[in-house]
Amino acid sequence: MKLHAILALAAAAHLGAALPTYTIPLAMSKALAENEDCTLPEGFEVQNFQIWTPAPGNNRTSVINFGYRDNSTSIVTACHFNQTSVNVGPAGLTPRYACDNKIVEFIWQNGTLTLVEKACPQSNMPRGFEAAGAVTPDLTCSASAKNSTVGEGKFCVSRTDLVANFTSLEPTPN
């Protein structure tokens, strides 16, 4: 979302039209006024979400794979979680994992997938901002056999691609 779009949204709000699903913090709107090349994340699509979870007694780590697309910022990337994944989130918070394009991170917790995208990463703000939104995949699952390459467990795929809006825009946690 560019500065001129923000001004149009402010005018639309005055006329009673719909606004984005998050509020732009004052510090971010100042940075946007100085950097018209900044496009804020608006929504995203999760494509082909897959998760494999080990059965009790199988000491392997879960595996997650999916594609990510944000048409507003033109970001397309693949996202993965496996035994080599490293938590890239701040200490003391829920673990986050970077996608192939490090501007995008994700959290998988209790059946909910939260996507986090850095907002205007090219800007010179002293502290960055990030947009976040969540989806809950509707999964179809089947068992993997004990003699499979990953061992006994459960393989699940999303029935559809998942489309959602970002619902928050906040300073990046330290």
Q: Which residue has the tokens 């986050």?
A: 96
Does 5 fall in a domain?
no
What's the CATH code of the domain at 124?
2.40.350.20
Does 107 fall in a domain?
yes
pLDDT averaged over the chain? 84
Q: Where residue 9 falls among pLDDT bands split at 50, 70, 90?
A: very low
Does 167 fall in a domain?
no
Does 101 fall in a domain?
yes
Per-residue model confidence as pLDDT tens digits over 112-138:
999 999 988 877 666 788 999 999 999
DSSP H/E element including 41? none
What does each C-alpha distance from 47 to 12, 31, 59, 139, 160 come to in angstroms?
A: 32, 32, 28, 13, 8
For residues 7 and 105, give the distance between their C-alpha atoms in angstroms, rounded to a whole number: 29
In sequence order, which residues have a C-beta less than 8 Å from that of residue 99 and are 6 or more positions away?
A: 68, 77, 78, 79, 80, 105, 106
Domain ranges, residue 78: 26-161
Does 16 fall in a domain?
no
> pTM to 2 decimals?
0.82
| Number of structural domains found in the chain | 1
Does 52 fall in a domain?
yes
Check residues 77 and 58 and name the one with the higher pLDDT.
Answer: 77
